[in-house]
């Protein structure tokens, strides 16, 4: 049986060149944690990430937030809900300093009609988002919180990992609370998992970065924590 591919919550370095559209958009500079838009606001702008990363999340009536994906370079932000409700289905907050293109909704929709290569990329973008969300439904329904924390570490290593002599260094920094928000777990659970991995000499922290000794070990541990 073919091994199931790991669906990453990080959409990074998508294959599209936006340079032809710069003249039809504004270039925004965003600070980390600066709200781009809130869930259920009317959609009036769509965004494309040029540099940095933006977190999409949903919030329930109790004010509890669940991050659903992280959009990186060349990814589209604000399109979920564009044709169904015309309201943003998520909130969007940069997790790093960012640069983004900002398109009025009508302009972006017109570009989809007039520029043939854009439509297949837009559909690819939607397919990837749908794949991420369905994968999360499965994990939240059937997998433990500890399993999900390990899954995110593996995804981070596969997306941002740099091979070094002692293992794989994840080349972006993140806090345990940020990990908890993305995993749909408590910060206490994340701290417990990290402590166990440190005791087993699987996870190390050097200069603020996570170093993993082996992804194979993490995957075997996942099987025990389902």
- The 8-class DSSP code of residue 103 comes to E
Asked whether residue 180 is assigned to any structural domain, the reply reads yes
Query: Same domain for 123 and 30?
Result: yes
Asked whether residue 29 falls in the same domain as residue 56, the answer is yes
* One domain, residues 75 and 187: no
Residues 80, 118, single domain; the answer is yes
Mean pLDDT of the 87-103 span: 97
- The answer to whether 226 touches 147, Cβ cutoff 8 Å, is yes
pLDDT value at residue 138: 87
In the structure, what pLDDT confidence band is assigned to residue 29 with cuts at 50, 70 and 90? very high
Name every residue whose Cβ is closer than 8 Å to that of residue 90 and which is 6 or more positions away in sequence.
39, 56, 57, 58, 68, 80
**Do 167 and 133 share a domain, yes or no?**
no
Looking at 81, 107, 140, the residue that finishes a domain is: 140
Residue 5 lies in a domain: no
The confidence score (pLDDT) of residue 226 equals: 73
Stretch 27-38: mean pLDDT = 97
Lowest mean pLDDT among 8-12, 36-40, 96-100: 8-12
CATH number at residue 113: 2.60.120.10
> What CATH number is given to the structural domain containing 163?
1.10.10.10
4 lies in some domain: no
Q: What is the pLDDT of residues 196-219, one digit of tens each?
A: 999 999 999 988 899 999 999 998
Q: Is the pLDDT score of 76 beyond 90?
A: yes
159 and 61, same domain (yes or no): no
In-domain check, residue 104: yes
Are 68 and 9 in contact by the 8 Å Cβ rule? The answer is: yes
Q: Is residue 2 part of a domain?
A: no
Strand 26-30 versus strand 65-71 pairing type: unpaired
Q: Which of 114, 140, 166 is the last residue of a domain?
A: 140
Does residue 190 share a domain with residue 149?
A: yes
Cβ atoms 150, 182 nearer than 8 A? no
Beta-strand runs (E) in the chain: 10-11, 26-30, 45-51, 54-59, 65-71, 76-77, 91-94, 98-104, 161-164, 167-170, 203-206, 209-212
- For residues 113 and 33, the answer to whether their CB atoms sit within 8 Å is no
Distance of CA 182 to the CA centre of its chain: 8
Identify whether 1 is part of a domain: no
**Residue with token string 């959409």:** 11
Work out the average pLDDT over 37-53. Answer: 97
Domain total for the chain? 2
Q: What is the DSSP string of 12-26?
A: -S-S---GGGGGGSE
CB atoms closer than 10 angstroms to residue 113: 9
The CA distance from 153 to 57, in Å, is: 19
Task: State the Cα–Cα distance between residues 39 and 88, nearest whole angstrom.
Answer: 5
Boundaries of domain holding 124 = 10-140
Say yes or no: 74 and 158 in one domain.
no
Answer whether residue 59 is part of any domain. Answer: yes
pTM of the model: 0.85
Choose the final residue of a domain: 106, 140, 174. 140
- The pLDDT mean for the chain works out to 92
For residues 156-161, average pLDDT = 92
């Amino acid at each position: 049986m073919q091994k199931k591919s790991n669906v990453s919550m990080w959409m990074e370095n998508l294959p599209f060149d936006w340079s032809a559209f710069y003249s039809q958009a504004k270039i925004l500079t965003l600070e980390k944690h600066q709200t781009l838009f809130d869930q259920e606001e009317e959609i009036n702008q769509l965004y494309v990430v040029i540099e940095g990363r933006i977190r999409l999340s949903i919030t329930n009536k109790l004010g509890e937030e669940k991050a659903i994906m992280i959009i990186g370079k060349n990814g589209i932000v604000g399109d979920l809900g564009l044709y169904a409700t015309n309201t943003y289905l998520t909130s969007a907050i940069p997790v790093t300093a960012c640069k983004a293109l900002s398109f009025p909704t009508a302009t972006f929709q017109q570009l989809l009609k007039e520029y043939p290569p854009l439509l297949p990329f837009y559909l690819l973008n939607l397919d990837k988002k749908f794949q991420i969300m369905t994968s999360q439904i499965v994990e939240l329904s059937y997998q433990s919180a500890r399993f999900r924390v390990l899954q995110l570490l593996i995804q981070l290593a596969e997306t941002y990992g740099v091979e070094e002599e002692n293992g794989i260094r994840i080349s972006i920094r993140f806090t345990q609370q940020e990990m908890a928000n993305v995993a749909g777990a408590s910060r206490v659970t994340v701290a417990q998992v990290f402590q166990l991995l440190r005791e087993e000499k699987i996870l190390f922290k050097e200069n603020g970065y996570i170093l993993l000794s082996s992804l194979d070990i993490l995957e075997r541990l996942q099987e025990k924590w389902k």
